[in-house]
């Protein structure tokens, strides 16, 4: 965390500053697209976004990174991961009640939650979806997957909304924020099919796969052989179509945001959407390698975002860009 960001957010307590810095480091290391977009926010709002990302990343790593990473956890390994999630949940409960956690990510999250009055149910729902990843390895249809994504993705958008601020009543923008979280996660599911399969999970709905003659065994054979299959490609195309539809549903929400926050979300929108293009351009080879937006494309999108930031801040200084329902952090909660 830069001193400028912490000072702008009026975070003065040394322990809090260290906790927020830890979250920023997690974002910088693991969330390239997300981190780049966050840089386009006003400095005073960046620490809160890093805290939200840091907590989500910490929980996700508990689910995915313990053990050898091959197949769904069983026996003692599953119990260890469940116990780690229990400890995180207990730490979160104490942190939200008292403002401090044993883990730095909890300390930063508790402070952000208090500053922006974020609904605590969003964190509870998120952890419930993380817990389901320990036992649920596939989804019968898109409706079932959407149920999982309420906690794993939609609530992330809802957590972000108070930080971003809106020019409409927050409740009006909330469905679009939730849908954008879903669109981002669907994109990750498509990009990470092979890695998720190694963890024992298939997020592509079973009925969609079946409609194209695909089952888990075929996915496994393609992964092991380092090749794809026309049936798998057809299923991936269909899943990409579902994902693009989620982006279309989310798009009307971007103009509802505080103008100074729009460049951040627009940049994330374009870059994450660009992953779908990268997957197609790479021949739908996601079972064998991870597709990425080319560096030149990322730089161009970021440059456009910087221009939009400058324009929005100029308008805000002139009085025309002020949000009607802005983010409203309280004084330091600790």
Neighbours of 308 (CB within 10 A): 18
Q: Decide: 219 and 195 in contact? Cβ < 8 Å.
A: no
pTM to 2 decimal places = 0.89
In whole angstroms, what is the distance from residue 194 CA to residue 216 CA? 11
Query: Could you give phi then psi for residue 143, rounded to 5 degrees?
Result: -60, -40
Chain segment 143-201, per-residue pLDDT in tens:
999 999 999 999 999 999 999 999 999 999 999 999 999 999 999 999 999 999 999 99
Task: Provide the pLDDT for residue 321.
Answer: 47
H helices of the chain, where?
3-8, 14-30, 32-38, 46-65, 75-98, 104-116, 121-132, 142-149, 155-164, 170-191, 193-198, 206-211, 216-225, 230-250, 262-281, 295-318
| DSSP secondary structure, 99-142, as one string | S--SSHHHHHHHHHHHHHT--THHHHHHHHHHHHTTT--B-SSH
Strand partners, 325: 166
Cα–Cα nearest to 56, from 157, 152, 136, 184: 152
In whole angstroms, what is the distance from residue 156 CA to residue 329 CA? 18
Query: Greatest CA separation found in the chain?
Result: 62
In whole angstroms, what is the distance from residue 6 CA to residue 173 CA? 28
Q: Decide: 152 and 126 in contact? Cβ < 8 Å.
A: yes
Task: Provide the pLDDT for residue 329.
Answer: 63
Q: What is the CA radius of gyration of the chain?
A: 20
Neighbours of 254 (CB within 10 A): 18
Q: Which residues contact 107 (CB under 8 A, 6 or more apart)?
A: 15, 16, 19, 95, 99, 100, 101
Chain segment 51-103, per-residue pLDDT in tens:
999 999 999 999 986 444 445 556 678 889 899 999 999 999 999 998 788 99
**Secondary structure of residue 280 in the 3-state scheme:** helix
In whole angstroms, what is the distance from residue 84 CA to residue 156 CA? 21
Please give the share of the chain, as a percent, with pLDDT higher than 70: 85
Chain segment 292-325, per-residue pLDDT in tens:
887 777 677 666 666 665 666 667 666 654 555 6
């Amino acid at each position: 965390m830069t001193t400028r960001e912490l000072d702008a957010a009026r975070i003065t307590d040394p322990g809090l500053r260290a906790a927020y810095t830890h979250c920023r480091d997690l974002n910088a290391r693991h969330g390239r697209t997300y981190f780049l977009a966050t840089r386009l926010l006003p400095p005073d709002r960046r620490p809160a976004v890093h805290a939200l990302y840091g907590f989500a990343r910490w929980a996700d790593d508990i689910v995915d990174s313990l053990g050898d990473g091959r197949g769904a956890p069983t026996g003692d390994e599953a119990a260890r991961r469940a116990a780690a999630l229990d400890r995180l949940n207990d730490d979160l409960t104490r942190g939200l009640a008292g403002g401090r956690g044993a883990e730095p990510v909890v300390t930063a999250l508790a402070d952000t939650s208090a500053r922006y009055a974020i609904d605590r149910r969003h964190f509870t729902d998120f952890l419930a979806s993380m817990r389901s990843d320990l036992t649920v390895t596939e989804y019968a249809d898109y409706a079932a997957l959407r149920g999982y994504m309420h906690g794993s993705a939609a609530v992330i958008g809802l957590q972000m909304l108070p930080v971003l601020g809106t020019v409409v009543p927050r409740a009006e923008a909330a469905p679009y924020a939730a849908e954008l979280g879903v669109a981002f996660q669907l994109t990750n599911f498509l990009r990470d099919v092979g890695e998720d399969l190694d963890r024992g999970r298939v997020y592509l709905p079973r009925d969609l796969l079946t409609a194209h003659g695909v089952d888990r065994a075929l996915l496994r054979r393609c992964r092991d052989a380092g090749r794809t299959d026309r049936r798998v490609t057809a299923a991936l195309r269909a899943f990409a179509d579902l994902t693009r539809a989620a982006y279309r549903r989310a798009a009307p929400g971007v103009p509802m945001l505080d103008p100074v926050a729009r460049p951040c979300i627009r940049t994330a929108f374009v870059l994450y959407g660009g992953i779908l293009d990268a997957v197609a351009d790479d021949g739908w080879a996601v079972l064998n390698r991870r597709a990425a937006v080319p560096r030149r494309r990322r730089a161009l999108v970021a440059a456009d975002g910087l221009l939009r930031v400058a324009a929005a801040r100029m308008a805000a200084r002139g009085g025309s860009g002020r949000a009607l329902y802005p983010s409203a952090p309280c004084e330091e909660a600790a």
